[in-house]
Amino acid sequence: MKLSIGIVGLPNVGKSTLFKALTEQEINIANYPFATIDPNVGVVVVPDERLKKLADLSHSQKIVPAVVEFYDIAGLVKGANKGEGLGNQFLAHIREVSTIVQVVRCFENQEIIHVENGIDPARDIEIINTELIFKDLETIEKRLNKLEGEAKTGDKQKNREWEAIKKIRDGLNKNILAYNLVDKIQRESASNLRDSALLKELSLLTDKPQIYLLNGKESDVSDKLKSKIKELNADYVVADLSQSVDLNLLIKKAYEVLGLISFLTTGEDETRAWTIKKGAKAPEAAGVIHTDFENKFIKAEVIDWQKLLEVGSWNNAKQRGLIRLEGREYEVQDGDVMVIKHG
């Protein structure tokens, strides 16, 4: 499973600085709006202390960590949906990402221009979210016309989809993010809208979980701002990008927000981390390694990584009866070391 993160924000809030710190790629960072005129894509290794220890244990020839793709697009500005600035035209590049990190400037610095001529993090969040909403409304209006025709044929499923998408459109017009609208519609209709093919096809920007990266010191972040983020049903990380970026903290938060965990495989050939959804059953995890493993799944040999290290080898663990044989209903845990048995 690939984890991908889109970085958005106003110009000059620290987006490109974050991207450079994360990926260590030399990209164009300048003290003026629209320095980034093409989306930058970087692949970042997920820090995982377990891999080196397991590789040493197994004398692995290589280590294959989990990775995160970061997409950095040009800064958005108020009115981007009407052609202001450059950012809006690049929003399509983050339509497929798993989550969005919105960089919000909280620090004061007279030498660094703010496109809105003043520091107001809550206002900036509203500007970015509004632009994302306008982009989603464009997507929805195009799809609604087609759905309306399909619903009129008497197709009950299409009619339900049409009604649900109209509710999302109406909510977006009231400045409510689709992420919160979908949850509300699901509760009211007892439907599984979030997992529907239609919603996946639309891939709405405001239906992606958001993490707000508050660029500044803790003292720059007000309780009012934290409350606003909570009201948006989102999470945040405080980081002073002028100093350093805690990669662990940001990726850990992304895993937490998306409900992701990692299981591990180890042997002489390689030690590898595999990313899956929390709650995934053993066959689904096996399918991340290879689709045949899921289709022909029989059993999985499982042990916690720390327990494996304690006994010194897979054979020692087997002799002591510490390797568990798990079936199709086993819910994989973070840090499980697994060997898949398949037909």
Q: What is the pLDDT of residue 133?
A: 94
Share of the chain above pLDDT 70, in %: 92
Query: Which one of 5-14, 131-140, 219-228 scores highest in mean pLDDT?
Result: 219-228
Is residue 205 included in any domain, yes or no? yes
Kindly report which listed range (8-17, 273-282, 321-330) carries the lowest average pLDDT score: 8-17
Looking at the structure, do residues 213 and 299 belong to the same domain, yes or no?
Answer: no
Q: What is the pLDDT of residue 177?
A: 96
The domain of 311 spans: 279-342
To which residue do tokens 């998306």 refer? Answer: 258
3-class secondary-structure state, position 226? helix
Token pair belonging to 214: 């508050």
For the chain, the domain total comes to: 2
pLDDT tens digits, residue range 87-106?
566 677 788 899 999 999 99
Is residue 103 included in any domain, yes or no? yes
User: In the chain, which residue ranges form alpha helices assigned H by DSSP?
Assistant: 15-23, 49-58, 121-151, 156-173, 178-189, 197-202, 223-231, 247-258, 282-289, 291-295, 305-311, 314-319
Is residue 270 included in any domain, yes or no? no
Q: What is the pLDDT of residue 196?
A: 85
Looking at the structure, do residues 132 and 200 belong to the same domain, yes or no?
Answer: yes
Looking at the structure, do residues 100 and 220 belong to the same domain, yes or no?
Answer: yes
Q: What is the pLDDT of residue 234?
A: 96
User: How confident is the model over 250-273, as a mean pLDDT?
Assistant: 95
Is residue 181 included in any domain, yes or no? yes
Mean pLDDT (the chain) is: 88
CA distance 188 to 334: 33
CB 329 within 8 A of CB 281: yes
Q: What is the pLDDT of residue 33?
A: 52
Looking at the structure, do residues 218 and 180 belong to the same domain, yes or no?
Answer: yes
Q: What is the CATH number of the domain that holds 305?
A: 3.10.20.30
3-class secondary-structure state, position 340? strand
pLDDT tens digits, residue range 211-253?
999 999 999 999 999 999 999 999 999 999 988 777 788 899 9
More confident residue, 302 or 96: 302
- CB atoms near residue 146 (< 10 Å): 11
Is residue 189 included in any domain, yes or no? yes
What are the CA-CA distances from residue 2 to residues 71, 110, 249, 274 (Å)?
A: 13, 40, 19, 9
CA distance 325 to 310: 19
Q: What is the CATH number of the domain that holds 212?
A: 3.40.50.300
CB-based burial, 201-236: b 16+ in 10 Å, e otherwise = ebebbbbbbbbbbbbbeeebbeeebeebbeebebbb
> pLDDT band at 323, cuts 50/70/90?
very high
Beta bridge partners of 340: 300
Is residue 271 included in any domain, yes or no? no
pLDDT tens digits, residue range 76-90?
777 655 655 555 666
Q: Which residues have a Cβ under 8 Å from the Cβ of 61 and sit 6 or more positions away? A: 268, 269, 270
Looking at the structure, do residues 184 and 286 belong to the same domain, yes or no?
Answer: no
Looking at the structure, do residues 14 and 82 belong to the same domain, yes or no?
Answer: yes
CA distance 111 to 129: 26
CB 44 within 8 A of CB 66: no
Looking at the structure, do residues 163 and 82 belong to the same domain, yes or no?
Answer: yes
User: How confident is the model over 15-33, as a mean pLDDT?
Assistant: 67
pLDDT tens digits, residue range 26-65?
545 445 454 444 568 888 888 899 999 999 999 999 999 9
Kindly report which listed range (109-118, 122-131, 165-174, 237-246) carries the lowest average pLDDT score: 109-118
Kindly report which listed range (73-82, 150-159, 247-256) carries the lowest average pLDDT score: 73-82
Looking at the structure, do residues 298 and 206 belong to the same domain, yes or no?
Answer: no
3-class secondary-structure state, position 215? strand
Looking at the structure, do residues 317 and 179 belong to the same domain, yes or no?
Answer: no
pTM above 0.75, yes or no: yes
Q: Which residues have a Cβ under 8 Å from the Cβ of 193 and sit 6 or more positions away? A: 164, 182, 185, 186, 199
Sheet with 99-105: strands ordered across: 40-45, 67-72, 3-8, 99-105, 210-215, 235-239
More confident residue, 8 or 112: 8
Is residue 266 included in any domain, yes or no? no
H/E stretch holding 42: strand 40-45
Q: How is residue 281 annotated by DSSP? A: B
User: How confident is the model over 111-125, as a mean pLDDT?
Assistant: 86
User: How confident is the model over 181-206, as a mean pLDDT?
Assistant: 86
Looking at the structure, do residues 161 and 310 belong to the same domain, yes or no?
Answer: no
Is residue 268 included in any domain, yes or no? no
Token pair belonging to 173: 């017009």
More confident residue, 280 or 249: 280
CA distance 298 to 71: 38
Looking at the structure, do residues 67 and 160 belong to the same domain, yes or no?
Answer: yes
H/E stretch holding 72: strand 67-72
Kindly report which listed range (66-70, 269-273, 305-309) carries the lowest average pLDDT score: 66-70
CA distance 33 to 79: 15
Looking at the structure, do residues 205 and 289 belong to the same domain, yes or no?
Answer: no
